[in-house]
Amino acid sequence: MRELLIYISGILLIVSCQSRQQVQSSEPESKDEKGIFEKAYEDAIHWYVIGDFGRNGQFGQQEVADQMGEYSEIQEPDFIVTTGDNIYPNGVASVLDPLWKTSFEDVYRHHNLFCNWYAAIGNHGYRGNPQAQVDYTKISQRWQMPARYYVKNFEDDNISIKIVFLDTNPFEDQYYRQDKYMSVWDQDSTRQLVWMDSVLSDNSADWKIIVGHHPLYSGGKRIHSTGSIKNHLEKVLIKYNVDLYFAGHEHDLQHIHNPAYKTHHIISGAGSDIRETGKMEYTKFAAAQNGFVAASALKDKLLIRFINVKGEVIHHFELNK
């Protein structure tokens, strides 16, 4: 009897250990998958992408900001990109609006986050004073929105990146029927398309990237309402072989790729309040989690990591030239 009890105890101990090992191995790796990418991309240009975030530090905004700071100690960003809806609920009234302090300056307080923030404008910005987001560039040491649409070229050693920041609001046809977006009505969408042709026809950069608030594809809340943006912009992405299109608007994290053409679509709109998401035909990844995207580019390869509020890399992929 004593031998039987010892035998059974031994079996239970083995099962318990195996169970613990299975749980541990199923957990996501944290902190850039324990640094496996850091060495490979040590000499890259690094940046973060965050969207739909400015809520006085609430609804997870502060937690994401703090995680961005922690992650920056592993891989410090050279700059940060926003995909719009930078201040909720109705943008800002002026460059002196206290929301600049409570929803931006005081929230992203880690030393490594005091780099240049290159911002796109979202639909909520048009509910307030959209020009104030442009004008804030003149008084901020890190906020950069020199115009409602603009282009930035980044170079380091032999690496070059062209990032085109769009104002996608004039391409959302339904806004011309909504009084709350009256300030969109005087924007010249045709002029912006002509400008896009002029900046994207230059093929000298290693990587071509577009940032806009509205996605062309989504498996989330707006799965059936991206047609307007897609009709206006997809032909441009195809014509100029754009590598990445970053968007927000959906309060989640998504990676979508239509195999019919080159561009990978990345939604990074989980900077504060999040919503349930889902999948569509071309979905590679979707998560309703607070977080941001980290990107690293070398001359011949580019790495994208989706990082949640816990610091876990929950999805990643590489592009190769």
State whether residue 296 is helix, strand or coil: strand
pLDDT exceeds cutoff 80 at 233: yes
Contact 215, 249 (CB under 8 A): yes
What mean pLDDT is reported for the chain?
Answer: 90
pLDDT average, residue stretch 281-309? 97
CA distances from 7 to 4, 15, 16 (A): 5, 13, 14
Contact 169, 187 (CB under 8 A): yes
pLDDT exceeds cutoff 90 at 23: no
Confidence of residue 73 (pLDDT cuts 50, 70, 90): very high
Confidence of residue 35 (pLDDT cuts 50, 70, 90): low
Sequence-separated (6 or more) residues with CB below 8 Å from residue 196: 164, 166, 236
Query: Between 227-239 and 189-200, two packed helices, what is the crossing angle to 10 degrees?
Result: 30
CA atoms within 13 A on the CB side of 109: 10
CA distances from 50 to 20, 146, 159, 203 (A): 35, 19, 23, 27
At residue 132, φ and ψ (nearest 5 deg) are: -65, -30
More confident residue, 22 or 189: 189
Tell me 127's DSSP state: G
Helix H or strand E segment including 99:
helix 99-100
Task: Sketch out the chain's domains with CATH numbers.
Answer: 34-320 (3.60.21.10)
Confidence of residue 29 (pLDDT cuts 50, 70, 90): low
Instruction: Return the ∠ at Cα 200 (arms to 194 and 205), rounded to 5°.
Output: 160
Spatial distance between the Cα atoms of 40 and 320, rounded to a whole number of angstroms: 14
Sign of the four-CA dihedral 240, 242, 246, 247 = positive
The DSSP bridge pattern shows strands 159-165 and 207-211 to be parallel
pLDDT exceeds cutoff 50 at 9: no
Confidence of residue 31 (pLDDT cuts 50, 70, 90): low
Q: Among 35-44, 76-85, 147-156, 307-316, which is the least confidently predicted range? A: 35-44
pLDDT tens profile 83-142: 999 999 999 999 999 999 999 999 999 999 999 999 999 999 999 999 999 999 999 999
pLDDT tens profile 270-292: 999 999 999 999 999 999 999 99
pLDDT, residue 225, reads 93
Contact 295, 80 (CB under 8 A): no
pLDDT average, residue stretch 40-45? 90
Contact 303, 314 (CB under 8 A): no
pLDDT exceeds cutoff 80 at 21: no
**Tally of CB atoms within 10 A around 308:** 20
Spatial distance between the Cα atoms of 216 and 225, rounded to a whole number of angstroms: 9
Q: Which of 109, 236, 111, 100 is nearest to 168 (CA)?
A: 236
**Tally of CB atoms within 10 A around 156:** 15
pLDDT average, residue stretch 174-197? 94
Q: Which two tokens stand for residue 71?
A: 């992650």
CA 109 to chain CA centroid, nearest Å: 19
pLDDT, residue 40, reads 76
Contact 287, 315 (CB under 8 A): yes
pLDDT exceeds cutoff 50 at 22: no
